[in-house]
Chains A and B, each alone.
Chain A
Amino acid sequence: MLFFRFTAIVFAVLFFINSSFLNQIYSAENTVDECFESRENTSLLYREKIESGKDNVKCSEKTGAVLWYGDPFWNTADMADGKINKKVKRVMRPRGDSLMYMPCSSCHDGVTVPFPDGNEPRELTFHQEVFQENLEMTHGRGRIWCLDCHTPANRETLIGNFGKKISFDKSYELCGRCHGSTYKDWEDGIHGKRIGMWNEQEKKRWWNCTECHDPHSVQVNAFAPLEPEAAPVKPEGLSEH
């Protein structure tokens, strides 16, 4: 009978042990402040609070990549146009401010740096980081050179069809001159990243080509392999075989 009393006491003790010790709060406040959207060192942005107290983005603790957008249209500007689909409500992140050497005309004014004759590949005294190997640009594998895309007399614009000038913010129009089928897919929303509203008539943030593909060294930096996020936790019973 003593055994039964003992068991009853054991039970009583156990009933008062709450199971809450198991719910250790796994503190995982998002602490990453500088994140990138596509690949590292491009499309950087900073985490901050927006209206309604939400974060503008949530980033990965492991890689620093942006995982989640609180406001998909944060820091974007209206870019609606497009001959193909006039109804599109397109916003994009303006490029101008993030370009390193802007304004280009501070050097390329015809005086400090003269406007060149012709478009032959030659040794450069500046902008060497654009090239992988001497006199051969990776983009096009040696078949194109600077002034095939950049307006000789106004380096803040790019060369468009009909002789029109394209601003850096709309550089996709230039890419589309050669990469037509990709450009059509991009306009349809099939190529590349778009966030925002799913209805075709609603507002979306589009990604400019150059936000993912480096226009000078496309094959090298265009979606070079990057660090993946963590694998799922292995279940018990899965051993190394």
Chain B
Amino acid sequence: MYKKETKESVDNAERRDFFKKVGLGGVKAVAGAAALFTGSNEAEAAVSWARWFQKNFRLMTEEEKDKAISYLEKKYSEKFEKQMDVDKSPAMEDVLFGYALNIQTCIGCRRCVKACAEENNQSRHDPEIEWIRVLQMEKGNFSIENKGEAVSGNTLNVGEYAHKNAGVTLEGEHYYEPEKVPEKDFFYFPVQCMQCENPPCVKVCPIQATWREPDGIVVIDYDWCFGCRMCMSACPYGARHFNWGKPNLPKENVNPDTHYLGNRPRTNGVMEKCTFCIQRVREGRYPACLEACPVGARKFGNLLDPESEIRKILENKRVFRSKVELNTYPKFFYYID
């Protein structure tokens, strides 16, 4: 009885010790992780408590928006060592933005992709985020050399071209980098957020961090999104991008004119995507990708204005949209001359 008790008490003591160590280690781990998470960077260390309770931008009052914006301007200006402006301009009346891209003219030079990165403060590496992706599409390879084994016999598909793909590879090439573009046997197809009127990404977000603004732009509140990436899977155009790590934006490359819902610098773990350069278009200016295009393949305007270039294109050119069968009603049109 006595021996058993001693052994038991020793066991108990060892157990207590064990749990104490595990508990302490655990507490340290959680505290350390929390500390690192909230305050690992010099400027970000000054997180005020109010920020934790900041509301979804769509539901904020004007005063709350102003407060959030002045905090952000201060934080960004400190971090990037220049005066940063964060705008909150609302949608203009009687405006519905539309975009058109001439795939007859596009030469696949990718200047739009890089201009977008410059304008919209995208992370340059780890991860490299680019809101526009240009696909190189094959025109079709119908060469006599491509014929295969002749299929013959008692079958319904005979001949040398049976079961072949009729000359075209269906998926586009993403990583082309030839000496010169356009290459002879290809045409180019840039893809970015289609700003759908029936956006699947908006529907699936569990916390309404993304929504469609009155002027047709689908926006994200970067301070509300918690990075579940439902929207990323729901988007049929691969238009939504995720900050896998802390964005690497050198301060020399920062664009200081930003909008809360647009190109202000993002943080780790949130989604981002093309906003039709909301910071520019709400001030009346063209998006950055359009201005970069050397051949004028990109056109933009107010779909509700019959005099706009976009309306003239819809009337006079042959226009189509991508993946219409999904009923997303995109506002990014493709056309040929």
Q: Which A residues have a C-beta under 8 Å from some C-beta of B?
A: 1, 4-5, 7-8, 11-12, 14-15, 18-20, 22-23, 25-30, 37-39, 58, 60, 65-69, 72, 185, 188-202, 207, 212, 223-234, 238
A7 touches B25 (CB 8 A): yes
Beyond A72-B291, A195-B291, 19 extra complex contacts between A and B, CB < 8 Å: A11-B25, A14-B32, A18-B36, A18-B40, A26-B124, A26-B250, A28-B252, A58-B118, A67-B114, A190-B313, A190-B317, A191-B296, A199-B302, A200-B301, A202-B284, A207-B296, A226-B107, A226-B294, A227-B181
Mark interface residues in B275-289 (1 if CB within 8 Å of A CB, else 0).
000000100111010
A37 touches B294 (CB 8 A): yes
Q: Is B312 an interface residue (CB 8 A)?
A: yes
Task: Assess A190 versus B309: contact at CB under 8 Å? Given A18-B40, A198-B285.
Answer: yes
Query: Size of chain B's interface in residues, with CB distance under 8 A?
Result: 70
B305 touches A200 (CB 8 A): yes
Name B28's closest neighbour in chain A (CB-CB): A11
Name A202's closest neighbour in chain B (CB-CB): B284
Nearest CB of A to B298, in Å: 9
Q: Cβ of A228: which chain B residues have Cβ within 8 Å of it?
A: 108-110, 176-178, 180-181
Most buried by B among A72, A194, A198: A198
Q: Cβ of A238: which chain B residues have Cβ within 8 Å of it?
A: 175
A39 touches B252 (CB 8 A): no
Give the docked Cα–Cα distance between A188 and B22 (Å): 73
B29 touches A29 (CB 8 A): no
Nearest CB of B to A96, in Å: 23
Give the docked Cα–Cα distance between A191 and B102 (Å): 10
A197 touches B309 (CB 8 A): no
Give the docked Cα–Cα distance between A14 and B36 (Å): 11
Contact of B17 among A1, A18, A196, A227 (CB under 8 A): A1
Q: Is B21 an interface residue (CB 8 A)?
A: yes
A200 touches B308 (CB 8 A): yes
B295 touches A231 (CB 8 A): no
Q: Cβ of A8: which chain B residues have Cβ within 8 Å of it?
A: 21, 24-25, 28
Which residues of B17-31 are within 8 A (CB) of A?
17-18, 21-22, 24-25, 28-29
Binds A, one of B2-10, B70-78, B125-133: B125-133
Give the docked Cα–Cα distance between A42 and B229 (Å): 45
Give the docked Cα–Cα distance between A146 and B307 (Å): 38
A67 touches B177 (CB 8 A): no
In the A-B complex, list the 10 residue pairs whose CB atoms are closest, starting with the nearest: A225-B180, A193-B296, A229-B110, A189-B309, A15-B32, A29-B252, A195-B291, A67-B115, A231-B177, A192-B296
Nearest CB of B to A68, in Å: 5
